[in-house]
Amino acid sequence: MFPVKMLPFRRFPTTTVSQCFTLVRSFTGGITQYAKKAEQLESEEPATEELPVTFVDDDAESMEAREARIATLRNKSRLLPQHRNMLHGVLPYEQSQSWIHETVKYKRMMLGRYGIDGSKVDPRVCFPTKKEAYERAEYERVAFPFSLKQMMDANESERKARKAQIEAREAEVSRKLEKLDQWTADLNARIAKKEAEARAAKERKDRLVEEVRRHFGFKVDPRDERFQEMLAQKEREDRKKVKEAKRKEKEEKMMEKLQKKTAQLEADIEVPSGEKKKQ
């Protein structure tokens, strides 16, 4: 025979082994009791089956209760009763659930939405009380002191005044647009005149400076006192010359006007004398 190599055998504690045997005995005992109970139930006669909970005798049930039960079984929406009532256009609550449901505003809203029969609200709540009517009339008297005719007249007057103001503004704009070309020409003339005056002043200044330098006969610093004094003297002389030229020009213009007026008077005198000779 071949030698057999034995595996090492593990020894368990005595307490563990005893516990295992106890568990096996309890398990086998439970199976035995269950088998006996099953045999006893099979040997007994079957009892009459009970009716399901939802079964109700139709003869003993009234028509209204039957309809209510069917409606309850038919409701699969899982909505709250008040929400389902609102969905089907029915008053949400049969009785007041909050102080809000007792307010006049809520009752008027329910009456307007579900009607007299559907809301179960006295329609007299829609009419104001004497106190409310008086307060409303007083409010309208203070807030709207004018009658409809007066407000219409005031609105018409305001509309006419606004229209007249717009027309006046448009007329003024048109009038100014007509003068726009003339104003542009005047502006350009003034700008050209100022530029000419500035150029003339600069040329006059340069001319006076050159005259002062020629007077000294040598190059002088413009900041020198002698140069400044001579320049001031030349400017005074130049201003006198300009003033004299303007005076002469004015006199010439006056003489020209007098000559024109004299010629006009002579012509007026000669015309009547010629007419008398013809007569």
Domain ranges (residues) in the chain: 65-143, 148-254
Find out whether 118 and 142 touch, Cβ atoms under 8 Å: no
Q: Is 95 exposed, middle or buried (0-12, 13-18, 19+ CB in 10 A)?
A: exposed
Tokens linked to 11: 């020894």
Which residue has 């004094």 as its token pair? 229
Which residue has 């005074």 as its token pair? 236
Quote the pTM value: 0.33
Give the chain's end-to-end CA distance (angstroms, integer). Answer: 193
C-alpha span between 218 and 206 (Å, rounded): 16
Q: What is the model's pLDDT at position 117?
A: 87
b (16+ CB within 10 A) / e for 120-139: ebeeebeeeeeeeeeeeeee
Q: Which of 52, 114, 63, 95 is nearest to 71 (CA)?
A: 63
Find out whether 208 and 238 touch, Cβ atoms under 8 Å: yes
Q: What is the model's pLDDT at position 262?
A: 85
Q: What is the model's pLDDT at position 239?
A: 79
Give the number of other CB atoms < 10 A from CB of residue 107.
19
Q: What is the model's pLDDT at position 7?
A: 46
Q: Helix crossing, 148-178 with 180-216: angle to 10°?
A: 40
Q: Which of 242, 166, 152 is nearest to 204 (CA)?
A: 242
C-alpha span between 207 and 238 (Å, rounded): 10
Find out whether 21 and 27 touch, Cβ atoms under 8 Å: no
C-alpha span between 190 and 142 (Å, rounded): 62
Does residue 120 come out as left (phi exceeding 0), alpha (psi in the -120 to 50 range) or beta?
left
Per-residue pLDDT of the chain (279 residues; tens, 9 = 90+): 444 444 444 454 555 556 655 665 666 666 667 667 666 666 654 444 444 445 445 555 688 888 888 878 888 888 888 998 898 889 999 888 899 999 989 999 999 999 988 888 889 888 888 999 999 999 999 998 988 899 999 999 999 999 999 999 999 999 989 988 899 999 999 999 899 888 887 887 777 777 777 766 666 666 767 777 777 777 777 778 888 888 888 888 888 888 888 888 878 777 665 555 555
Find out whether 120 and 95 touch, Cβ atoms under 8 Å: no
Find out whether 26 and 34 touch, Cβ atoms under 8 Å: no
